Amino acid sequence: IPPSKDPRLLIKDLRFERVKVRIYQPKKSNNSQRRGILYFHGGVGRFGSIRAYERTCRYFCRKTNSVVVCVEYRLAPKHPFPAQFEDCLTAAIHFLRTAQDHGVDPSRIVICGDSSGGTLTAAVAQALVNRGDLPKLRAQILIYPFLQCVDFNLPSYQQNERVPILLKERTLVLGLKYVNMDLGIIKELFKGCHVSEDRRLKYQKWVSPDYIPHEFKTRGYKPSPAYLPSKELCEVSEPLFDPVFSPLLAEDSVIAQLPETFILTCEFDVLRDDGLLYKKRLEDHGIKVTWCHLQEGFHG
């Protein structure tokens, strides 16, 4: 859709520091400052663009009477991970600092993203918790996010491994390409051989089928056998446990400071349980969570 063709909205392309953004503002005059939505699109850090999310951002802008900023972060493989996160963080800091220049109340800014954009949203929210020099985020909105790489045999990974578009194997292939790792390790990742004993003990209090409510296990879930970790694979897999890539693995001290959160999950999505586990972690720390579960929903 051509960016200038909407009689109700003012749409323009800008740069926040080095990062390209497209900003959507309602044309109707407003006596007070508007709310702001910063949107990070999905696409596993390799696909997607401002153009692909044109309809989504216009819809948000019109329906919520907010100023919407869509971030055109750099894509892999030309720009390797974590360039995507760095661009999103840069855009968020710039928007929080300059909100009033765009008619936005700095205390009413939410960040939002879908799929890997949800991962970026969670990672940016975590990176901002200790920034005393910036306004606090009003909320984070996570639309079926990828959040962890500890356990690829959670109930949702088992139940939905052959559900398009995000097949279980495709999820790992895309994720490994994103962090530029060898695809030959996929079968070992499925078995959990990349998680050392120390990590397993640390993460089991956050990532475990035990924390998935029973009603999500009725569709043919079977507990997986445990395999011994491979020392070599554990070393190679180190980048996967960085909270920038796996925000569910952030320390409690970070999780406890996060803003109010909205999480959307889909029943027929391998990433469903990532959302459920993050919901539990946030609620355990007293963070208010609004949860929307689409019983007939699937990824994309």
Catalytic: 115?
yes
The dihedral through the CA atoms of 62, 64, 66, 67 has a sign that is negative
Distance of alpha carbon 12 from alpha carbon 223, whole angstroms: 51
Task: Please list the residues that pair with 204 across neighbouring strands.
Answer: none
Is 269 catalytic? The answer is yes
Whole-number Cα distances in Å, 6 to 12, 30, 31, 146, 195: 12, 18, 22, 33, 50
Q: Among 41, 94, 194, 299, which one carries the catalytic annotation?
A: 299
The verdict on whether 208 is a catalytic residue reads: no
Catalytic residue among 115, 116, 156, 237: 115
What is the enclosing helix (H) or strand (E) of 70? Answer: strand 67-72
Of 87, 151, 269, 274, catalytic: 269
Structure tokens at 182: 């060898």
**Packed helices 83-98 and 116-127: angle between N→C axes, nearest 10 degrees:** 60
What is each CA distance from 65 to 40, 80, 100, 106, 144, in whole angstroms? Answer: 19, 35, 16, 15, 24
Catalytic sites, residue numbers: 115, 269, 299
